[in-house]
């Protein structure tokens, strides 16, 4: 039975969180329970991961605590997509709000559109905006107040509610102005920010779903019976035919083949699989039939472990605490206190009730975070839009904060630094042999093979001749008859003697981390074909650009040491780690983080997904797998690694604009609240000033449209370019 020394871990889906402050409140509540060792509440994924002693506490206590705090435990039905439902609901509310708010603003602010009784029309249109569209704000504000806390939702609720209530009263008394448009605009702008948040949250689970989709659904037992993969147990034997997925991890007990393990290793060359070799679930069998004995099933398989690593990394990383949420802990209660003090002071000094209430409402309106509602989403919209035009996809504002302090970049090799596909690099004929004939005959034989090396050879040949009697030689190569000659293509062990010139070519290729294929016929070696995963032409320049930004660079790969060192040398990377598995990549990122580094991981494969999720900033190459892209924070659409430098600079600039927007929004509120309290700003002027602050925020964000990238500075964009940041790390 689990004890305190061996705690259980459970996941709890949560409904009702609207900001990072909600997640922090739930986390504190769960952590305070006896028997809870750790409670990590992730606002982005809307769930809590709790480690606990089952002898002291259980899930019922977790549910009771969450509900006591004013939130709910969601239905954990995988078919019930809460993120989609939330986004759909927000979309309906946002569309309704925009449709109703636009005419309210038009008839309220444009004199030419005014008419007798327009105030009643504005009130009728504003009522559903404030009380239906804005109901989530009022609901959360009420719940928080019931538990003795305040957030920005409190200000939104009280500001919009007060503006609407005062305006409703004003319809029946003689006052100069109503403020229905102010209440409607506040709701619309704040809701726009929430809509962007919901879009980011919906994508948070796509990586896990994509990984799960890689697994085989059924397995074929030795007697031909097909069973669900979930029914497999350790020790059971199953058959994997050519082209099929391996159902679970296992040991080959019969047959020989090649297995495409790029999902795990990231390397494009299939590995040989024979009796006694291990194969991994979800990898793809090549041209031979294999009988495999299951060694790991269910949650113990390599794929399940990768899924667990991705999920753990996404859940264990603390959500980015928004600057607005941190400041609101002080700002919101202060604004409410000032509004109350304003009302009391005016009444105690004998001022008319109407004037006192007007001043208090003006304080609430000027304090309402309208500009804050635009600060983040506008910068994200402009920054991400500009990034997209430069081939850089930024997934959301939350992930940008880490880029300012990134000091270490980890690069995957295959498909990232290299092109990820095998190409024929050179043909070395033996003395007296014709290189074109060597290539032609080799390609004619390999045209009958499905091996990626064969594809590279065939792709390089211009002419092919008919080949007969094709035979695969496991672990050695292939052979067939071409133009009456028995042609052998593969390892040098196929030939009794190999000329010294060809041996030297083989040694040179292997020293450079390339694959050498010997070709011959009639028992004599005739030439050497050198095949390699070509280094991208821009990779060396990209490494230089990253170093210009003050970043350390590490090359991380599942390939062998010799090949990895050769690639590292070609692009200027000294620190190279080779022969690493997915969990090793994840562990290396954790090790660097433990040393105090802020790590950016760049990769393209499924094997990179855990490290991408774990890193402070995950950057996926868009030519890679969907899982890598979905797990990452940034995506480089092309294979040009120089765009990584562009991505980092653009991310930093976007974050700087967001922080500037938030600062000036708060500064404006701080300066304007006293003026409203002393009656200098009536609600009408307050609403106009609030509108000006919003215009300022939007204008500041639009400057990002002129960003041209780290590699393409221009005189007109000097204000947007960031000087290379040097760190002491």
**Which residues are known catalytic residues?**
412
| Distance (Å, whole) CA 445 – CA 395 | 47
| Distance (Å, whole) CA 719 – CA 216 | 53
**Strand-pair category, 237-240 with 408-412:** unpaired
Cβ contacts of 435 within 8 Å, gap of 6 or more: 427, 428, 429, 527
Residue indicated by tokens 């609240």: 673
Cβ contacts of 594 within 8 Å, gap of 6 or more: none
- By the 8 A CB rule, do 391 and 634 touch? no
Q: How many helices (H) and strands (E) does the chain have?
A: 23, 26
351 closest CA partner among 677, 685, 669: 677
Strand partners, 442: none
| Distance (Å, whole) CA 689 – CA 678 | 16
Q: What is the 3 state secondary structure string of 333-374?
A: HHHHHHHHHHHHHHHHCCCCHHHHHHHHHHHHHHHCCHHHHH
Tokens of 145: 């107040």
CA distances from 213 to 206, 207, 729 (A): 11, 10, 40
Terminal CA-CA length for the chain: 45
| Distance (Å, whole) CA 365 – CA 164 | 11
Residue indicated by tokens 């009263």: 169
Query: How buried is residue 137: exposed, middle or buried, by Cβ count under 10 Å (0-12/13-18/19+)?
Result: buried
Q: What is the DSSP letter of 245?
A: B
Q: What is the DSSP string of 468-501?
A: EEEEEETTTEEEEEETTEEEEEE-GGGSS---HH
251: left (phi over 0), alpha (psi -120 to 50) or beta: beta
Longest dimension (CA), the chain: 114
What is the CB neighbour count within 10 angstroms for residue 493? Answer: 12
Sign of CA dihedral 352, 357, 360, 366: negative
């Amino acid at each position: 039975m689990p004890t305190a020394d061996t705690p259980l871990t459970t996941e709890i889906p949560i409904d009702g969180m609207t900001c990072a402050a909600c997640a922090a409140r739930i986390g504190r509540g769960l952590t305070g329970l006896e028997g809870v060792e750790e409670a990590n509440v992730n606002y982005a994924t809307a769930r809590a991961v709790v480690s606990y002693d089952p002898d002291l506490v259980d899930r019922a206590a977790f549910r009771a605590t969450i509900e006591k705090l004013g939130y709910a435990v969601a239905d954990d039905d995988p078919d019930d997509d809460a993120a989609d439902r939330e986004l759909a609901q927000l979309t309906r509310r946002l569309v309704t709000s925009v449709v109703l708010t636009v005419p309210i603003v038009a008839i309220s602010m444009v004199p030419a559109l005014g008419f007798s009784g327009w105030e009643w029309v504005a009130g009728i249109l504003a009522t559903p905006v404030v009380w239906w569209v804005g109901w989530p704000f009022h609901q959360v504000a009420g719940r928080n107040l019931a538990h003795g806390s305040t957030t920005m939702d409190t200000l939104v609720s009280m500001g919009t509610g007060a503006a609407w209530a005062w305006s409703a009263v004003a319809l029946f008394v003689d006052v100069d102005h109503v403020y229905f448009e102010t209440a409607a605009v506040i709701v619309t702008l704040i809701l726009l920010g929430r809509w962007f948040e919901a879009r980011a949250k919906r994508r948070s689970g796509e990586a896990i779903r994509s990984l799960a989709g890689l697994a085989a659904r059924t397995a074929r037992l030795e007697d031909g019976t097909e069973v669900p993969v979930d029914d497999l147990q350790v020790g059971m034997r199953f058959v994997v035919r050519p082209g099929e997925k391996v159902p679970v991890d296992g040991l080959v007990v019969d047959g020989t083949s090649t297995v495409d393990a790029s999902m795990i290793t990231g390397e494009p060359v299939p590995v040989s699989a024979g009796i006694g070799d291990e194969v991994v679930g979800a990898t793809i069998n090549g041209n031979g039939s294999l009988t495999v004995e299951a060694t790991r099933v269910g949650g113990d398989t390599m794929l399940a472990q990768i899924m667990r690593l991705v999920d753990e990394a996404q859940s264990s990383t603390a959500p980015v605490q928004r600057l607005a949420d941190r400041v609101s802990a002080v700002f919101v209660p202060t604004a409410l206190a000032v509004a109350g003090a304003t009302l009391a002071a005016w009444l105690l000094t004998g001022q008319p009730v109407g004037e006192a209430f007007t001043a208090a409402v003006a304080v609430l309106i000027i304090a309402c975070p309208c500009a804050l509602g635009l600060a983040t989403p506008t910068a994200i919209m402009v920054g991400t839009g500009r990034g997209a035009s430069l081939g850089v996809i930024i997934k959301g504002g939350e992930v940008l904060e880490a880029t300012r302090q990134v000091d270490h970049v980890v690069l995957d090799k295959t498909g990232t630094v290299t092109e990820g596909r095998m190409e024929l690099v050179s043909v070395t004929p033996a003395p007296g042999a014709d290189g074109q004939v060597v290539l032609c005959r080799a390609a004619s034989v390999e045209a009958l093979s499905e091996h990626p090396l064969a594809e590279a050879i065939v792709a390089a040949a211009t002419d092919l001749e008919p080949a007969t009697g094709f035979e695969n030689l496991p672990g050695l190569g292939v052979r067939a008859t071409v133009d009456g000659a028995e042609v052998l293509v593969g390892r040098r062990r196929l030939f009794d003697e190999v000329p010294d010139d060809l041996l030297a070519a083989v040694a040179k290729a292997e020293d450079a981390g390339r694959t050498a294929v010997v070709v011959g016929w009639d028992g004599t070696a005739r030439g050497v074909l050198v095949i390699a995963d070509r280094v991208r032409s821009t990779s060396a320049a990209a490494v230089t650009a990253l170093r210009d930004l003050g970043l350390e660079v590490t090359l991380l790969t599942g390939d062998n040491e010799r090949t990895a060192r050769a690639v590292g040398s070609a692009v200027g990377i000294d620190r190279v780690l080779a022969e690493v598995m997915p969990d090793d990549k994840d562990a290396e990122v954790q090790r660097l983080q433990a040393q105090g580094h802020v790590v950016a991981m760049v990769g393209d494969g499924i094997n990179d997904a855990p490290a991408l999720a774990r890193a402070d900033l995950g950057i996926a190459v868009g030519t890679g797998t969907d899982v890598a892209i979905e797990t990452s924070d940034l995506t480089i659409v092309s294979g040009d690694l120089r765009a990584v430098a562009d991505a980092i600079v653009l991310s930093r600039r976007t974050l700087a604009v967001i922080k500037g927007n938030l600062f000036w929004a708060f500064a404006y509120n701080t300066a304007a609240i006293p003026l409203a309290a002393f009656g200098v700003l009536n609600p009408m002027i307050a609403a106009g000033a609030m509108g000006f602050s919003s215009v300022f925020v939007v204008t500041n964000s639009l400057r990002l449209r002129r960003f041209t990238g780290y590699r393409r500075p221009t005189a007109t964009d000097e204000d947007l370019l960031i000087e290379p940041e040097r760190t002491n790390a």
